[in-house]
Structure 1
């Protein structure tokens, strides 16, 4: 069980902090909510106390004998500020200690994650951007805000990400520290495919696969958190879009092929994590094929789908990295990694992320474990853990191989 401080500052998005608190406590963490005085204008202390099971106070004059303004920070495994207003970011950057939350920040030796939420003009103001840069330089994680509806009719960057996204990213930092969400993909454009394609047999049936798209979703969410511009080409995935990510929905392998090629032209990284059908029916029946009818087929002829990964490798621009995925099982001929190395050589991609899918260890599961093979022979094992943590490990390998940019 991890000890988490959930700091809440005074913005209308404070209501989402209650949902984040619920997600963190249900994951088994001991959460202490430390709001600013203005945050309690939006959500009352009783709500936070009821959901956390811990007392809530905003000033340094309560529980003086426990020296709470020192002990809370010292004893924490993670501090998450959600929402982090422009005022809170400014006070944290300046090292202020004028309430319990900012005092806690000065005594915390654990990773600190700020989740900004404010109007677009406030987020883009040079003062706020300087404060964000200062906090990142000191080792804190400052997530980019989501883009969407703000208060009133306004819309733009500055929206608080959804609690599920924030909770998923906290697991990344708890497992890997602040470096797991290093802002090392800033200015990079990333295209990711996810999910599984479906090849229609008739208006009702299709040939498909068991991919849930969860690992691709995690890759997109972590890439956005690390500063990338992310396009997610999603094949038949029923999940909310990750924050800061543009989603292009597709169904078949041909649709996925067209979308990925269109988006990959100026991408720094293309990640093919989708499970693309190798074959499709040679023809699609116009009406449902019924048993004991003239339309009942004796067999279903198949044709091969294009090899999208090989096409991307052949068309890649200078400096572009192409990352493939391989869902493998061992057999009488070879083990998982032997099969994967042969695929890496055959496909010609820069990196190949290898999943051992035997024994239902991957499809639809919350956890994963992979090995990242490189064309130059390097191999990186990423141990079993939540898929967002695995995604962070994959991006660390990818970021280390990107061609540096010079201004």
Structure 2
């Protein structure tokens, strides 16, 4: 159930006696840590009141596309974009038919046309309606479009019939929904991630930087948030939108990023250093733009460089350090250099990345890496950075959990020895 932590669930309720079960379903969603908005059809309002659902969800209930108060709070288009998932339960035979036909004749049907979030239906109807050829055809149409059906269940029905068509138990529906999300392995954890390049000023208009796009770091931030973590993203200058539910801290130089990282990791559980930080900066920065000497057209310019602070090593050296993951962007001897970097900087894990391959290097949408630890060397094949980020976050969460268990065991052993 922790997989639903921080998830945004749009609950749809259609007309049917099973609508009373939706109240318990929403209660379970809230208890699991989800944020819930509810849409009710006019028929649903005949079985259970919007006020009940508002009290349980903590949000105004949406019943009409033409409600100016609801639109002022969260417009129906924004509501469709807001959701991580749409769960419609009970889903009546009538609604399933209208949805299969692509109709947009009420707010809930319109949401299904607009949203890009996955849609899950909990059918609830008389057993004869469920087994009717038209209903079965409509369900197959929706399945072909990527809609998932949870149930229905079999058993005694309110009309007196016995057979398939009952809405699943509310808790079962919530558990099935939770299974659709990532493991929630970082639920309740604080994660700090650095991303993008840094810019080291030469004068007011020139700087030293690199080709990092920030895509990998931003993908990791999104994946960590989806895994239930509270995420702070320290980003160098990039042109990327902030991932949903991620706190972004913009910086420019390596020293700016170092200061932000030291501050933000004071209460973090995991630190992932994904930024491509400039190792050096100009020793001095000109106050005005440096001009070419017109009398010496062939004259060059010498820039004296000094070393920047090592961000990941500084965090790893903190007394109350988080679990530290570094990145090694190399163009040759990738694995060897990464292993050496991990040991020298006292990192828990390091991700080795061959940036000489232009198909997976800077600015690419794809990547292929090797995750390296004290007892692991795990290649992760080429895939999209979004997919790769999900894999890395799951593995990082696993190793973090193992390190916490080892630390706890060591503290228990020490306490026992001191008490002996």
From 130, 133, 137, give the equivalent of 2:175. Answer: 137
| Kept in 2: contact 1:201–1:207 (CA 8 A) | yes
SS at match of 1:230: strand
| Kept in 2: contact 1:316–1:322 (CA 8 A) | no
Q: Does 252-261 or 235-244 show the bigger shift?
A: 235-244
Equivalent residue, structure 1, for 2:329: 327
Equivalent residue, structure 2, for 1:356: 354
- Whole-angstrom CA distance in 2 between matches of 1:45 and 1:137: 26
The C-alpha deviation readout for 1:249-273, integer Å capped at 9, x for no partner, is 1000000000000000110000000
From 71, 77, 94, give the equivalent of 1:15. Answer: 77
Spell out the pairing of 1:383-398 with structure 2 (5 A cutoff): 383-398=381-396
The C-alpha deviation readout for 1:11-53, integer Å capped at 9, x for no partner, is 5655258879xxxxxxxxxxxx94899974348769949x9xx
- Whole-angstrom CA distance in 1 between matches of 2:228 and 2:336: 35
- Whole-angstrom CA distance in 2 between matches of 1:348 and 1:337: 16
The structure whose Rg is larger is 2
| Kept in 1: contact 2:124–2:152 (CA 8 A) | no
Equivalent residue, structure 2, for 1:401: 399
The C-alpha deviation readout for 1:347-396, integer Å capped at 9, x for no partner, is 2100001111113122111111111101x231222221121111111111
| Kept in 2: contact 1:313–1:348 (CA 8 A) | yes
- Whole-angstrom CA distance in 2 between matches of 1:263 and 1:249: 13
- Change in 2 beyond 3 A, CA 1:64/1:197: same
In the alignment, does 2:333 pair up with 1:338? no
- Whole-angstrom CA distance in 2 between matches of 1:42 and 1:300: 63
The C-alpha deviation readout for 1:276-297, integer Å capped at 9, x for no partner, is 0000000000111111269986
- Change in 2 beyond 3 A, CA 1:134/1:192: farther
From 35, 41, 45, give the equivalent of 2:106. Answer: 41
SS at match of 1:265: helix
1:139, CA displacement in angstroms? 5.7
Equivalent residue, structure 2, for 1:256: 257
- Whole-angstrom CA distance in 2 between matches of 1:273 and 1:259: 14
Spell out the pairing of 1:142-291 with structure 2 (5 A cutoff): 178=180, 181-291=182-292
1:338, CA displacement in angstroms? 1.7
The runs of 5 or more residues in structure 2 that have no matched partner are: 1-9, 13-38, 40-61, 63-73, 83-97, 117-122, 158-163, 409-420
1:323, CA displacement in angstroms? 0.4
1:73, CA displacement in angstroms? 6.1
Number of equivalenced pairs: 302
The C-alpha deviation readout for 1:106-157, integer Å capped at 9, x for no partner, is 89xxxxxxxxxxxxxxxxxxxxxx97x865633635xxxxxxxxxxxxxxxx
- Whole-angstrom CA distance in 2 between matches of 1:307 and 1:68: 62
| Kept in 1: contact 2:100–2:142 (CA 8 A) | no
RMSD: 4.4
Equivalent residue, structure 2, for 1:4: none
The runs of 5 or more residues in structure 1 that have no matched partner are: 1-6, 21-32, 52-57, 81-91, 98-102, 108-129, 142-177
| Kept in 2: contact 1:369–1:382 (CA 8 A) | yes
SS at match of 1:246: strand
- Whole-angstrom CA distance in 2 between matches of 1:277 and 1:202: 16
TM-score normalised by length of structure 2: 0.61
- Change in 2 beyond 3 A, CA 1:268/1:38: farther
Equivalent residue, structure 1, for 2:48: none
1:226, CA displacement in angstroms? 1.0
- Change in 2 beyond 3 A, CA 1:194/1:94: farther
- Whole-angstrom CA distance in 1 between matches of 2:243 and 2:348: 26
- Change in 2 beyond 3 A, CA 1:66/1:36: closer
| Kept in 1: contact 2:330–2:356 (CA 8 A) | yes
Q: Does 226-235 or 352-361 show the bigger shift?
A: 352-361
- Change in 2 beyond 3 A, CA 1:377/1:78: farther
| Kept in 2: contact 1:210–1:363 (CA 8 A) | yes
- Change in 2 beyond 3 A, CA 1:248/1:59: same
- Whole-angstrom CA distance in 2 between matches of 1:302 and 1:258: 20
Equivalent residue, structure 2, for 1:117: none
TM-score normalised by length of structure 1: 0.63
1:317, CA displacement in angstroms? 2.1
- Change in 2 beyond 3 A, CA 1:299/1:217: same
| Kept in 2: contact 1:8–1:35 (CA 8 A) | no
1:308, CA displacement in angstroms? 1.2
In the alignment, does 2:299 pair up with 1:299? no
Equivalent residue, structure 2, for 1:149: none
| Kept in 2: contact 1:198–1:207 (CA 8 A) | yes
